[in-house]
């Protein structure tokens, strides 16, 4: 057994300083070469303990931390959001995390997202409140520990910083975490530590690294014990083409040992297990040698966790980023089962009806599905890979079931050209964003605004009460259609409505209304227009001087009562009452008496809705 370095990932919003922090940590360690320097891995950087001790000065002793760990192993997060969701068996690939934020900006969408991911993967983390040197009046000293640097500041500057820290404490509290500035933490087991730093000047880095080590000692004892000669386990970061080498797999090993002649198993985008034999194991060359030889990598025969390694092997085209990687030299079936059970672990509950989800890696798919689940958004299918024509067709089938599920939520994937064409022909929505949590928000906002739009459309289609009078001596045409001069006596009348007389008989449908040669779609009280009434015959269906009412169904009547009544004018209300009287006398003595709630209308399907109108 040996203790490996804890794997640390740096998460945070765009531009809040992830790269600068990692660069600074690397930079300071390169500078302190005599202390042993760093090991550059594929996709990661390892800082040995003696280097950390030299950066942290007396802090480690002060914290009473024994030097038991080989160092800290930082995954190179920047520019690759999917890293935030890399997983290993039973949780996140990272054992520890730094949640970094710009102290002058506080929480931003990706900060919330990172926090959610840390919460759901239960990864212990430290908050780095970065860019303290940007606080107006801050007096920087390169590489200084925060505890000393803060003594060099004017009291107003310290006050400013504290205000900002307390805002972060407040937001963390709302998100379910108790936290404090590291030097005021009373209980390390229940409070998250916040370390003010500048990734730029290096201020506060000693404390940041010390706090990480503190977390490692507190939480990670067993997790870090590995068997040095056990077959390796790892997580695939990326499959990528490398000049002269073909397809290679960048992998982080978190357990065991990988040998050059090992056979390995990984998962494909289709969740199938592939088995392949390693051709070569590569690690980065030291910087000076890269300059001389221009080749970036060197061969190695064996590599022990924790480590980042580039693997050259055939048949790896379909391997998915985030896939587990395992050595399978003898008991292939067992290893295959283990891999498949990892996929099952990503518990994706699918429904008959729901949205489609696409993501680039197993980890990001899992994170996305978890967030959608927590918001009770049903998922029809969740898959890795670009959006294909088949996805668009499947989403359009869902659209037929329910408009709000005719949707694809996609993280870090592209729309294939053939799918673009199909998409143009369909009504479905594709949501794409680099922030997982933003995708869910956008989708929910869209669903809500669609509901609002539907409601507005329903309101707009309610027929309003209105009555008209056929003016004497102004019947211009007797039939097909009958055309007469009319006066609008109440309400607003729209083209297309049906008119009835005071005996409840249908007179005809308003085909058009005209005034001074102008065609009018709707006309309001007091106007006089020439009205064409289809199917009506003068002196059979209506006479000069007749008062005619706009006809409506009983449900429309209730809809007005429930939704529009306070918007009606007195004369319109009167017209409603007159219409009700006519209906009660001619159709049903209870017409318009038993009210049905409008909200029921929201649950009507299309046919019922048509019926209603």
* Residue stretches of the annotated binding site for GTP: 12-19, 76-80, 130-133
Do 556 and 460 touch, CB atoms closer than 8 A? no
Closer to ligand GTP by Cβ: residue 131 or 283 = 131
CB of 387 to ligand GTP, least distance (A): 24
329, 476, 492, 565, 589 from 558: Cα distances, Å? 75, 37, 18, 10, 16
CB of 199 to ligand GTP, least distance (A): 4
Binding residues: 12-19, 76-80, 130-133
Identify which range of 61-69, 192-200, 386-394, 553-561 contacts ligand GTP by CB under 6 A.
Answer: 192-200
Give the Cβ contact number of residue 269 at 10 Å: 18
Q: 3-class DSSP state for residue 544? A: coil
Closer to ligand GTP by Cβ: residue 78 or 378 = 78
d(C-alpha 497, C-alpha 509), whole Å: 6
Identify which range of 41-49, 113-121, 163-171, 196-204 contacts ligand GTP by CB under 6 A.
Answer: 196-204
d(C-alpha 566, C-alpha 570), whole Å: 10
Closer to ligand GTP by Cβ: residue 197 or 413 = 197
Told to check if 133 binds ligand GTP by CB under 6 A, we report yes
Exposure letters 9-18 (e unless 16+ CB within 10 A, then b): bbbbbeebbb
Told to check if 19 binds ligand GTP by CB under 6 A, we report yes
Identified binder of ligand GTP from the candidate list 17, 256, 324, 592, rule CB under 6 A: 17
d(C-alpha 377, C-alpha 447), whole Å: 11
Residue 215, classified by CB atoms within 10 Å of its CB into exposed (0-12), middle (13-18) or buried (19+), is: buried
d(C-alpha 313, C-alpha 252), whole Å: 16
Q: 3-class DSSP state for residue 332? A: helix
Identify which range of 125-133, 244-252, 521-529, 538-546 contacts ligand GTP by CB under 6 A.
Answer: 125-133
CB of 375 to ligand GTP, least distance (A): 26
Residues that contact ligand GTP, how many (by CB under 6 A): 17
Span 524-583, contacts to ligand GTP by CB under 6 A: none
d(C-alpha 233, C-alpha 453), whole Å: 52
Span 324-353, contacts to ligand GTP by CB under 6 A: none
CB of 451 to ligand GTP, least distance (A): 35
CB of 28 to ligand GTP, least distance (A): 14
CB of 602 to ligand GTP, least distance (A): 43
DSSP state of 460: H
Identify which range of 68-76, 197-205, 360-368, 465-473 contacts ligand GTP by CB under 6 A.
Answer: 197-205
Distance of CA 501 to the CA centre of its chain: 57
Told to check if 261 binds ligand GTP by CB under 6 A, we report no
Residue 567, classified by CB atoms within 10 Å of its CB into exposed (0-12), middle (13-18) or buried (19+), is: exposed
Told to check if 12 binds ligand GTP by CB under 6 A, we report yes
Told to check if 164 binds ligand GTP by CB under 6 A, we report no
CB of 16 to ligand GTP, least distance (A): 5
Closest CA relative to residue 24, chosen from 69, 55, 48: 55
Identified binder of ligand GTP from the candidate list 6, 8, 9, 20, rule CB under 6 A: 20
Identified binder of ligand GTP from the candidate list 7, 11, 18, 145, rule CB under 6 A: 18
Percentages helix, strand, coil for the chain, rounded to the nearest 5?
A: 35, 30, 35
The beta-strand segments (E) located in 42-102 are 44-48, 71-75, 87-88, 91-92, 96-102
Closest CA relative to residue 407, chosen from 374, 364, 371, 442: 442
d(C-alpha 395, C-alpha 383), whole Å: 13
CB of 195 to ligand GTP, least distance (A): 12
Closer to ligand GTP by Cβ: residue 79 or 517 = 79
Q: 3-class DSSP state for residue 365? A: helix
d(C-alpha 375, C-alpha 373), whole Å: 5
d(C-alpha 393, C-alpha 396), whole Å: 5
CB of 496 to ligand GTP, least distance (A): 56
Span 198-227, contacts to ligand GTP by CB under 6 A: 198-200
Identified binder of ligand GTP from the candidate list 6, 8, 9, 16, rule CB under 6 A: 16
Identified binder of ligand GTP from the candidate list 62, 134, 148, 173, rule CB under 6 A: 134
Identified binder of ligand GTP from the candidate list 130, 193, 235, 556, rule CB under 6 A: 130
CB of 206 to ligand GTP, least distance (A): 15
Which positions ≥6 away from 529 have C-beta within 8 Å? 485, 486, 488, 513, 514, 515, 520, 523
Span 391-420, contacts to ligand GTP by CB under 6 A: none
Do 459 and 485 touch, CB atoms closer than 8 A? no
Closer to ligand GTP by Cβ: residue 13 or 464 = 13
DSSP state of 465: P
Span 65-124, contacts to ligand GTP by CB under 6 A: 78-79
Q: Which residues bind ligand GTP (CB under 6 A)?
A: 12, 14-20, 78-79, 130-131, 133-134, 198-200
């Amino acid at each position: 057994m040996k203790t490996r370095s804890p794997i640390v990932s740096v998460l945070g919003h765009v531009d809040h300083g992830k790269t600068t922090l990692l660069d600074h940590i690397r930079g300071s360690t390169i500078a302190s070469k005599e202390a042993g320097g760093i090991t550059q891995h594929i996709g990661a950087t390892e800082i040995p303990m003696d280097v950390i001790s030299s950066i942290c000065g007396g802090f480690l002793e002060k914290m009473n931390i024994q030097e038991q760990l080989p160092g800290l192993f930082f995954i190179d997060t920047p520019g690759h959001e999917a890293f935030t969701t890399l997983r290993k068996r039973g949780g996140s690939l990272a054992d520890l995390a730094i949640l970094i934020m710009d102290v002058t900006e506080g929480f931003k969408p990706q900060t919330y997202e990172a926090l959610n991911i840390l919460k759901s993967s239960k990864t212990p983390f430290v908050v780095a409140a970065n860019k303290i040197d940007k606080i107006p009046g801050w007096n920087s000293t390169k590489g200084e520990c925060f505890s000393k640097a803060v003594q060099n500041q004017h009291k107003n500057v310290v006050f400013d910083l504290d205000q900002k820290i307390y805002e972060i404490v407040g937001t963390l509290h709302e998100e379910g975490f108790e936290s404090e500035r590291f030097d005021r933490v009373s209980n390390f087991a229940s409070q998250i530590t916040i370390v003010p730093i500048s990734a730029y000047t290096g201020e506060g880095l000693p404390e940041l690294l010390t706090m990480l080590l503190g977390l490692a000692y507190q939480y990670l004892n067993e997790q870090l014990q590995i068997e040095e000669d056990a077959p390796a386990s790892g997580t695939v970061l990326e499959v990528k083409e490398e000049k002269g080498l073909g397809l290679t797999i960048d992998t982080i090993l978190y357990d065991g040992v990988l040998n050059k002649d090992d056979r390995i198993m990984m998962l494909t985008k289709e969740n199938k297990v592939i088995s392949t034999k390693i051709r070569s194991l590569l690690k980065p060359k030291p910087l000076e040698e890269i300059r001389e030889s221009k080749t970036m990598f060197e061969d190695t025969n064996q590599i022990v966790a924790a480590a980042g390694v580039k693997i050259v092997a055939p048949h790896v085209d379909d391997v998915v980023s985030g896939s587990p990687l395992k050595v399978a030299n003898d008991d292939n079936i067992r290893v295959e089962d283990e891999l498949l059970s990892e996929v099952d672990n990503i518990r994706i509950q699918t429904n008959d009806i729901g949205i489609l989800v696409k993501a680039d890696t197993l980890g990001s798919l899992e994170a996305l599905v978890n967030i959608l689940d927590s918001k009770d958004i049903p998922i029809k299918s969740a898959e890795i890979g670009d959006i294909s024509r088949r996805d668009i067709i499947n989403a359009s089938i869902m659209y037929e079931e329910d408009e709000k599920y005719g949707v694809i939520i996609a993280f870090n994937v592209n729309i294939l050209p053939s799918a673009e064409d199909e998409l143009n022909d369909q009504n479905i929505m594709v949501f794409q964003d680099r922030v997982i949590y933003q995708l869910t928000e956008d989708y929910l906002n869209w669903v809500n605004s669609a509901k609002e739009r539907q409601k507005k459309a329903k309101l707009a289609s309610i027929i309003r009460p209105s009555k008209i009078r056929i003016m004497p001596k102004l019947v211009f045409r007797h039939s097909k259609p009958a055309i007469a001069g009319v006066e609008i006596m109440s309400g607003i009348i729209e083209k297309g409505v049906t008119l009835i007389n005071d005996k409840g008989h249908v007179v005809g449908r308003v085909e058009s209304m005209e005034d001074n040669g102008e065609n009018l779609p709707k006309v309001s009280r007091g106007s006089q227009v020439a009205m064409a009434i289809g199917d009506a015959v003068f002196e059979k269906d209506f006479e000069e001087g007749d008062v005619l009412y706009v006809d409506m169904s009983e449900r429309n009547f209730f809809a007005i009562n429930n939704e529009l009544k306070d918007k009606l004018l007195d004369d319109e209300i009167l017209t409603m009452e007159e219409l009700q009287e006519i209906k009660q006398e001619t159709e049903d003595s209870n017409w318009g008496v038993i009210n049905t709630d409008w909200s029921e209308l929201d649950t009507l399907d299309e046919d019922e809705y048509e019926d209603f109108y």
